[in-house]
Amino acid sequence: MAILLLLAILLRFQETFQDDSIEDTVELLQCNFCVHSRKKKDVTDGVKQEPDCMNHLKFLSRPDLRRTCTQSEKFCVSVVTNLNGFFIEVERDCAEDCEEGCDQHGYGLFHTECTRCCKEPLCNEFDGRQYYEPLSASQLKFYYVFYCNFLLLFLFS
């Protein structure tokens, strides 16, 4: 009876050891990790100021701008914020979940936040320089029509 009990304990110990070794072999995702903001308050306070976050050639050469994600963080993300088509902030980090796309809010001042998601190591390297450029022609057409209608309403009222 004692031998069976000892055998059961040894088998349980072996299962626990095998489970631990499987967890140790799980490779955690590594993502670029930085924030650069051009918001007046952030610039004045000196926070979120990492200009190298804008240029993928610079931040890829800086290991201090990377982090290993937790086991629950399965995505690398880049979030870019624009105000009326002009760059305000870029943020790169790990995330547990990610919904890719752009959300636009506002009336008169349009706040646009675009998120890109990926699952490969250091894949959130989207070059931020393009976000300094104004919006595309189709988006500018929308603003042009909006402001023309506003001016007409103002002039004829």
In a domain, 20, yes or no: no
Residue with tokens 């919006």: 135
Residue 79 lies in a domain: yes
- The C-alpha torsion from 54 through 55 and 60 to 63, rounded to 10°, is -40
- pLDDT for position 63: 94
Does residue 94 lie within any of the structural domains? yes
Per-residue pLDDT at 26: 74
Please tell me the distance from the alpha carbon of residue 24 to that of residue 27, in angstroms, as a whole number.
8
Q: What are phi and psi of 130, to 5 degrees?
A: -65, -20
CATH code, domain with 131: 2.10.60.10
* pLDDT attached to residue 3: 56
* Per-residue pLDDT, 141: 54
Residues of the chain with pLDDT under 70: 1-25, 127-155, 157
- Let me know if residue 15 belongs to a domain: no
Please state the domain count of the chain.
1
pLDDT value, residue 142: 54
22 is a domain residue: no
Task: Judge whether 21 lies within some domain.
Answer: no
pLDDT tens-digit readout, 40-79? 888 888 888 899 998 888 888 899 999 999 999 999 999 9
How much is the pTM?
A: 0.66
Tell me if 66 is assigned to some domain: yes
* Token representation of residue 31: 């993502």
Tell me the residue range of the domain where 51 lies.
28-155
